[in-house]
Amino acid sequence: MMKRIAVFTSGGDAPGMNACVRAVVRTAVYHGIEVYGIMRGYSGMIKGEFVRLDSASVANTIQKGGTILKSARSQKFQTREGRQQAFDQLVNNGIEGLVAIGGNGTFTGASLFEEEFGIPTVGAPGTIDNDLYGTDYTIGYDTAVNTALEAIDKIRDTADSHDRCFFVEVMGRDSGYIAMPCAIGGGAEIVMIPETQMSTEAVVESLKSSWRRSKTSFIVVVAEGEEEGNAHTVAQRVKEAIPQLDTRVTIIGHIQRGGAPSAADRLLASQIGIAAVEGLLNGMHNVMAGIVDRKLVYTPFSDTINKKKLINQSFMRMVEILSV
């Protein structure tokens, strides 16, 4: 039976991370285990920035965006020397298990760290990108989509008023998981995501076809990882092909990562936080806790890191049909 564990957040922040930290802390307290928070991810682990947490420490945090444990990227942790220092700090503080809240990079580091030093780790998927294999949804994804969608709704009003074509860039790294529901929910005419590799020429032809059907305003949602380029690049190429088109570019940016988490993200974060701690107590390690088909699953870090999470291709047909 573990007596002391630690929790940390790493990589980009995501709405719901605090709800997950809260769930981890209170589950540990429920099981009679001491729990510490590691400030600033792997960087704080190396420096020994540990804070004792209890139920009161995480009161009034479930509704807050960002992460109360802070987050940072650590170049030093990528070295054997840095990981040795992190291990020494954990040993000195009596830490027997870790809950890592983050994304692909976080779990890559955690997997290597456990292989080298044997500290059991269970991951919680905290990223707005929703690109992790082993869970239907990641913590922060629902909030990010709704934040972006709210912005697109407002952009649509201006596009319609001025007969313009807006190219709206959303986040998601190399995944179209944010872009696709935003395109469908926001009534976009076109969506460009890495998974489909739509060419600029295809965008031009689609816009010309819509123009011939007397459409005068357009929304083109572009995922930031789109292989044709970012929204500015695509918009410039389209403008060169259709000079008469009044184009504008909006990059929604980091507001997608902030703000109070949605009800769905608070629930998901709470479920996974509990599952992460109880997974550690049941002897699990080097796995990520997730929800697939409404059921709790534990997926090995190796699969989470290396396997590609596929997007539903039928969504592209939905965009095509609904944009007529």
Distance CA 105, CA 12 (A): 10
Was 217 annotated as part of a binding site? yes
Was 172 annotated as part of a binding site? yes
Contact between 28 and 279 under an 8 Å Cβ cutoff? The reply is no
Was 23 annotated as part of a binding site? yes
187: which DSSP letter? T
Was 83 annotated as part of a binding site? no
Was 237 annotated as part of a binding site? no
Was 164 annotated as part of a binding site? yes
| Coil/strand/helix, residue 73 | coil
Helix axes 80-92, 104-117, angle to 10 degrees: 70
Was 156 annotated as part of a binding site? yes
Was 225 annotated as part of a binding site? no
The one catalytic residue in 129, 131, 142, 265 is 129
Q: Choose among 12, 5, 176: nearest CA to 106.
A: 12
Was 67 annotated as part of a binding site? no
Phi/psi of residue 10, each to 5°? -145, 155
Was 305 annotated as part of a binding site? no
Amino acid identity at 249: V
Distance CA 145, CA 221 (A): 12
Was 171 annotated as part of a binding site? yes
Was 228 annotated as part of a binding site? no
Was 22 annotated as part of a binding site? yes
Was 284 annotated as part of a binding site? no
The separation between the first and the last C-alpha atoms of the chain, rounded to the nearest angstrom, is 60
| Coil/strand/helix, residue 122 | strand
Contact between 61 and 254 under an 8 Å Cβ cutoff? The reply is no
Was 51 annotated as part of a binding site? no
54 catalytically annotated: no
Was 257 annotated as part of a binding site? yes
Q: Which tokens go with 25?
A: 């802390």
Contact between 62 and 18 under an 8 Å Cβ cutoff? The reply is yes
What is the full DSSP assignment across 124-157? EEB-TT---TT-SS-BTHHHHHHHHHHHHHHHHH
Task: Compute the radius of gyration of the chain from its Cα atoms.
Answer: 22
Was 323 annotated as part of a binding site? no
Distance of alpha carbon 214 from the chain centroid: 38
Q: Which residues are annotated as a binding site for Mg(2+)?
A: 104
Q: Which residues are annotated as a binding site for substrate?
A: 127-129, 164, 171-173, 224, 248, 254-257
Which residues are designated catalytic? 129
Q: Which residues are annotated as a binding site for ATP?
A: 12, 73-74, 103-106
Q: Which residues are annotated as a binding site for ADP?
A: 22-26, 156, 187-189, 213, 215-217
Q: Which residues are annotated as a binding site?
A: 12, 22-26, 73-74, 103-106, 127-129, 156, 164, 171-173, 187-189, 213, 215-217, 224, 248, 254-257
